[in-house]
Chains A and B, each alone.
Chain A
Amino acid sequence: MSTTDSVAWPGTRIGARPLAERLHGWVTTVDHKRLGILYVFYGFTFLLIGGVEAAVMRIQLIRPHNDFVSPQIFNQMFTMHGTTMIFFVVMPIVFGFANYLIPLMIGARDMAFPRVNAFSFWLTAFSGMFLYYSFVGGYGLYGLGTAPDVGWFAYAPLTAKTFSPGHSTDFWTLALLVSGFGSIGTAVNIIATVLSMRCPGMTLGKMPLLVWLNLVMAALVILAIGPLTAAQLMLLVDRYLGGHFFDTQAGGSAVMWMHFFWVFGHPEVYVLVLPAFGVASEVIPVFSRKAIFGYPIMVAATIAIGFISVSVWAHHMFTVGMSAGGNLFFVLSTMAIAVPTGIKIFNWLATMWGGKIHFKAPMLFCVAFLFQFLIAGLTGVMLGSAPFDWHLGNSYFVIAHFHYVIVGAILFAVFAGIYYWFPKVTGKMYGERLAKLHFWLFFIGFHLTFDFMHVPGLLGMPRRIYTYEPGRGWDAWNFVVTVGVFFQAAGILAFAVNLIRSSLRGRPAGSDPWDAWTLEWSTASPPPEYNYASIPVVKSRRPLWDLKHPEDPDWKYE
């Protein structure tokens, strides 16, 4: 993507370098842009695989007492689907965006630690492969191997050697242990880069919001992955050294696993969502032609969310039998986090208010993001009311809620980001009509599936069941939910076709196709390997606005 042979010296070859050499370049790269692209490709590949796992489950659940797959396979499907989507789809995509964009947005030439960057990527890549090897290990491919089947949060004591004698749990544990190290490496890299490599004039209060959101995300990764690592080490001690951390027969505590897991698990979902907020905070202003409303409050709200998110974890455990006081504390913290989150929604709304909204693909996805994230947040508040959660928890209502966040908010924001920065990364414009087709197909499919999924939860359908009884009123809803899957698949197909076609034959985009305002749009598309010929100097949050509007620059108002 970035090196050229445009200078021809006598006796040298003109033209593209041989394939082997180019592949070698990609495999050994430490360039943040290439690693970013590798991460995103990796994530999208696993999105397809995770999507197949979801489709298998939905086909099995399309009617009661279906026998599309056995219970054993279904249980592997939901475990692998969850684990894949969180650790090998959204996290790589999030890290990919961060890697690609942060140095460009702060006027730097690379991340602080390029080799650690590459190491982290390959750790993550390896651990994903390792996890999927589980399908062929053990009993072999037709028995679907010994893939994990304990649920993505692997509650004890189901994971003890007594109840999970094979290696399914171990694949889960080891894959995530290794990818956790990769995540920490990337997080440390992000923090070091943002704190020490901003270009002259760019104080912390002048960085793009995307950089802020990724900074807080990285801090959360550092705090949250440790507990998961610790819990997994303890699980390994139990399973292989005869330890008793979670061995209930010896006085160990299954609830302790839940605490440790969710101390990781809840901040983890904020790790996933904050970068999505970052994308929205960059796309919405540009396509509304207005500066983001309330930048300082947005930063404060982000930090508040980061802090509060480490105190809400036991809202995943309201049914576990905590004391009334314990439950009450987590109700309060969970509802409290709705306040800064709501503030962010209002600020995005205020950014659009009074603007001139251009409905290109990135903005379509962001508008849908706003509606959907609003709904997701509201169902989250419902779940935060503990007695209500005594019904809704562990039911399809929860599944609908968190897919509303992860697909409806995060994935939609990711699509917005892909379309927005595609011209920068490839130098070519994507096809707008195909992108809009992608949007509408996926939007319809998303709502068919996840709107109606709330209802079986309200009618008593628990999660993680490979089949259900007729006569409980769940049949029709499950049918509609499954139909939505096909629309989503069609949308993703349109997306893939668009990206492939456009990167081969799209029209040249130029350095700034959107008339945007942050630094990355000042360099070529795609950027040269060194990003900037000379390190920029900035005076405001929108350096390119200042250049384009010298009569009315931002720094007069900030």
Chain B
Amino acid sequence: MISIGAALGQATRPALSPTDIFAPVSTPAESIFDLSLLVLAVAGFIFIIVSGLLTYSILKFRKRSNDDGREPAQVYGSSQVELAWTITPVIIVLVLFLATARVIFSVQGAPHPKNALQVTVVGHQFWWEYRYPGLQVVTANELHVPVGEPTFLDLLSADTDHSFWVPRLAGKTDLIPNHPNKMWIEPRQTGVFLGQCAQYCGTQHAKMLLRVYVESRPDFDRWVRQQAVAAQADDPPSEGRRLFEHTACINCHTVQGTAANGRFGPDLTHLMSRETLGSGIAQNTPENLRRWIRRPDDLKPGSLMPPMGLTDQQLDAVTTYLTSLR
């Protein structure tokens, strides 16, 4: 059963959806998939037997219209029968327990190679912060990892509870303030994998989406190099940059290489390298960016970024500046 499942898993199953838990492409997700086949098979088997007996009994033992009105034989119990249907479930429980234990230890106790990629994930209301400690990279909402290698995630939270769930890559693990957690993924296929926050964290929990970009090593290295560079300093600063640095923007946002070093909101140094805005809810186009800056609640009502009350001209200037942050 397990090897069939493994074989099925290895040949990538067609995914019924981008977040199908039965289409794993990463080692921990595959371990869970194999276990799930066993559990489903056992549950299915029990269901067929018991519901079969139930169906049989309501058909065979129903009162017929030609009933003679006498009571049927009263059977008060049977020790043998009771023993039989106690022992069998105990055995089934034991089997499931042992199979489960194997997977728990293989996932939670996975070896941690010294040079494996390490990413710190910080959950915020309602966006994801990613820091690559060894690589001097800080970004938000779109996680890039290399294919074919394990990536280890340290999960922290800046405010309330969150949960990191990208079904095709791994089971979910929570991000809890003052309670660091760890998880790992090992994707064996490139592509973009979707997920979202899976622990209610407030008003916009529903739109705290996840996007994981699994790339070939060369592509990943290129991305890292690009991310590690500070923003181009333009001299004299553009109108948009002046506005950005003289209004409340810098209280929340960081742009490496400038005066902006706020930590409450996402790092914007390489904003234009991201495909989406607002943690995955809108395509990253200048129009959407302008809409977002004008009034974030239009796209994500209840997000923690306030409308900045800028005039149209100011909005244009700031948008132009931000679209220069590649």
Contacts and interface: CB of A to CB of B under 8 A. Distances in A.
Touching chains A and B, CB distance < 8 Å:
yes
Interface in A379-403: 379, 381-382, 385-395
Interface in B166-181: 167, 170-174, 176-181
A510 interface: no
B320 interface: no
Contacts of A557: 74, 76
Interface stretch (B93-101, B255-263, B265-273): B93-101
Interface in A268-320: 288-291, 293-297, 319-320
B196 interface: yes
Contacts of A157: 159-161, 177
B136 interface: no
B206 A465 contact: yes
Most buried by A among B57, B78, B207: B57
B54 to A, nearest CB: 6
B35 A465 contact: no
Most buried by A among B77, B196, B209: B77
A459 B20 contact: yes
B205 interface: yes
A103 interface: no
B122 interface: no
A253 B73 CA distance: 60
A316 to B, nearest CB: 12
Interface in B128-174: 155, 159-161, 163, 165, 167, 170-174
Most buried by A among B63, B104, B204: B104
Nearest to B53: A349
A444 B11 CA distance: 39
A346 B89 CA distance: 11
Contact of B85 (A72, A320, A342): A342
Nearest to A364: B58
B172 A393 contact: yes
Contacts, number: 275
Contacts of B16: 459, 473
A549 B31 CA distance: 60
Given A356-B61, A388-B36, A319 B172 contact: yes
A75 B22 CA distance: 29
Interface residues of B, number: 90
B109 interface: yes
B203 A328 contact: no
B89 A71 contact: no
Given A296-B77, A319-B172, A460-B19, A355 B72 contact: yes
Contacts of A466: 206
A276 B6 CA distance: 41
Contact of B100 (A358, A370, A387): A387
A5 interface: no
Interface in A231-290: 248-249, 251-255, 288-290
A470 to B, nearest CB: 11
A367 B55 CA distance: 9
Contact of A354 (B47, B61, B104): B61
B302 interface: yes
Nearest to A383: B39
A328 B101 contact: yes
A442 B97 CA distance: 36
A158 B200 contact: yes
Interface stretch (A123-131, A178-186, A332-340): A332-340
Contacts of A355: 61, 72
Most buried by B among A253, A255, A350: A350
B324 to A, nearest CB: 29
Contacts of B42: 381
Interface string A136-156: 000000000000001100010
A343 interface: yes
Contact of B108 (A327, A473, A552): A327
A391 B100 CA distance: 14
B315 to A, nearest CB: 25
Contacts of B200: 75, 150-151, 155, 158, 463-464
B1 interface: no
Interface in A523-550: 549
Interface in A113-139: none
Interface in B98-115: 99-101, 103-105, 107-109
B201 to A, nearest CB: 7
Bin the interface of chain A by size.
35 or more
A358 B205 contact: no
A463 B197 CA distance: 10
B125 to A, nearest CB: 8
Interface string B38-61: 011011001100110110011001
A343 to B, nearest CB: 6
A222 interface: no
A8 interface: no
B93 A357 contact: no
B80 to A, nearest CB: 12
A1 interface: no
A150 B182 CA distance: 26
Contacts of B176: 248, 254-255, 320-321
A460 B284 CA distance: 24
Most buried by B among A357, A388, A393: A388
Contacts of B81: 350
A331 interface: yes
A343 B92 CA distance: 13
Nearest to A457: B21
A212 B70 CA distance: 30
B199 interface: yes
Contacts of B86: 339, 343
B202 A155 contact: no
Contact of A339 (B20, B93, B104, B108): B93
A382 B82 CA distance: 24
Nearest to A381: B43
A192 interface: no
Contacts of B67: 356
B235 interface: no
A357 B108 CA distance: 51
Given A331-B97, A460-B167, A254 B177 contact: yes
A390 B169 CA distance: 12
Q: 6 shortest A-B CB distances, which residue pairs?
A: A390-B171, A460-B19, A473-B17, A465-B206, A248-B177, A321-B181
11 contacts: A157-B160, A294-B77, A319-B171, A319-B173, A324-B108, A324-B109, A335-B96, A382-B36, A394-B163, A465-B196, A472-B19
Interface of A: 70-72, 75, 150-151, 155, 157-158, 163, 248-249, 251-255, 288-291, 293-297, 319-321, 323-324, 327-328, 331-332, 335-336, 338-339, 342-343, 345-347, 349-350, 352-359, 367, 370-371, 374-375, 378-379, 381-382, 385-395, 458-469, 471-474, 549, 552, 554, 557-558
Given A72-B301, A255-B176, 14 more contacts: A295-B76, A320-B174, A328-B100, A343-B86, A346-B85, A350-B75, A356-B72, A370-B54, A382-B36, A390-B171, A391-B172, A462-B165, A463-B198, A464-B200
